[in-house]
Amino acid sequence: MTKQNIADYGLCFFLDMHRELVINKEIIEVIYGVIIKIARTKLMPIFPLPEMPAGEGDDAPSEEKKAEIEKDIEMTTKHNAEAEVQNEEVNKIQAKVKINFR
């Protein structure tokens, strides 16, 4: 953590004033690390729902296959719901934390 890197991320004030503000340098490093981690958090992917194969007679999927596909649809729906909630939270936090990447 050099002064140049800190200045790039807008935290130069803390580095210059940490003694006057009675802030420990390790605390500044932790804050710096958390801000970088928040800014670099990637959004969770949203997966498309599997489709139930259509078919009649001999082409119709077996009951086992239908149950497996329904389970996959249920799991994908649950994952997508969790991903949407987490992505919304990450977007809110990242809107407040702006970092310029090089």
pLDDT for res 101? 57
CA–CA gap between residue 100 and residue 81 (Å, rounded): 30
pLDDT tens for the chain, 102 residues: list them: 555 555 455 566 666 766 677 777 788 788 878 888 888 889 999 999 888 777 666 667 788 888 898 999 999 999 999 999 999 998 988 887 766 655
pLDDT for res 58? 61
pLDDT for res 21? 73
Global pTM? 0.61
Give me the DSSP letters along 54-66.
P--GGGSPPHHHH
Domain boundaries, the chain: 1-40, 44-102
